Amino acid sequence: MRTAVRILQRVLGAVPLLLALVIATFIFVRMIPGDPVDIMLGQGGNVSAAEVAALRQSLGLDEPLQVQLARFLRGLLQGDLGHSFWQRQPVARLLVTTLPATVELALAALFFALAIGIPVGILSAVRPGSLLDRLAMTTSFLGISMPAFWAGLMLMFLFGVKLRWLPTVGRLDPALDLQPVTGFLVLDSLLTGNWPALRSALAHLVLPGLTLGLELMAIVARVMRSSMLEALQQDYIRFARAKGGPLKKSTTTDKKE
């Protein structure tokens, strides 16, 4: 019961923060130089002033800022996220369209972070102070401190430009034809049995997945190392080692007495 109350308090406490964030974002977007009507109609000079005024009125841009904000918040409560001036589509439709790519990228980043971070942390803890441990901790420090965009550029240059091992653009090879089912390219290629598309989709996920998961990978490795080092000092581990238990079972280190 206390946990539910605590969660409810956290959720209610986040509402004012989210509201302030939405209002600030709305105001900052309106302060950006440029007219949304010019973006939608273009700046070729072939549009009359009456057409510009009519479009501004239909979009509600001729109203005061507080009226526009109130209308936006009212629509937000009703599930209307607004309209993209640049894409000329509802924002909700754009989010639904790009959601599969976002989920695939997030899952790829999580996979790389766990698949690499956990083994590296364990190996570092098993051999503390070794060359592998120092190399792993140095790499993890760089992973935490290095900006993601810089890491992405270096990975693209090395594996995409120099070695040409991995693609650097898009989600799928343009020469391949994949029948859309769910919008998730990996899942669609499995459902349709399109193995070349599956290989291409997975290859296109490697570089962005590594880039996005690099920081989490470093954190996982350092946390796993600290947890393993603490666990290795427990009495049951030391007892198993004293009994002559193998390394795979006792998971301890050789110490010089």
Q: Among 60, 85, 110, which residue terminates a domain? A: 85
Structure tokens at 230: 């603490």
One pLDDT digit (tens) per residue for the chain, 257 residues: 678 788 888 888 888 888 888 888 888 877 777 677 776 776 555 667 777 788 777 777 778 888 888 888 888 888 888 777 777 788 888 888 889 999 999 999 999 999 999 999 988 888 888 888 899 888 888 888 888 889 889 999 999 889 989 998 888 998 888 888 888 999 999 999 999 999 999 999 999 999 999 999 999 999 999 888 888 777 777 777 677 666 555 554 444 44
Q: Are residues 107 and 157 in the same domain?
A: yes
Tell whether 249 is covered by a domain.
Answer: no
Q: Which structural domain, as residue segments, surrounds residue 142?
A: 94-243
Q: Are residues 123 and 212 in the same domain?
A: yes
How many Å apart are CA 46 and CA 231, to the nearest integer?
A: 73
Q: Among 61, 85, 109, which residue terminates a domain? A: 85
Detail the DSSP E strand segments found in the chain. 83-84, 89-90
Tell whether 67 is covered by a domain.
Answer: yes
Tell whether 255 is covered by a domain.
Answer: no
Q: Are residues 27 and 145 in the same domain?
A: no
Domain count, the chain: 2
User: What count of other Cβ atoms lies within 10 Å of the Cβ of residue 115?
Assistant: 13
How many Å apart are CA 211 and CA 204, to the nearest integer?
A: 12
Q: Among 85, 107, 135, which residue terminates a domain? A: 85
* CA neighbours closer than 13 Å in the CB half-sphere of residue 167: 13
pTM of the model: 0.70
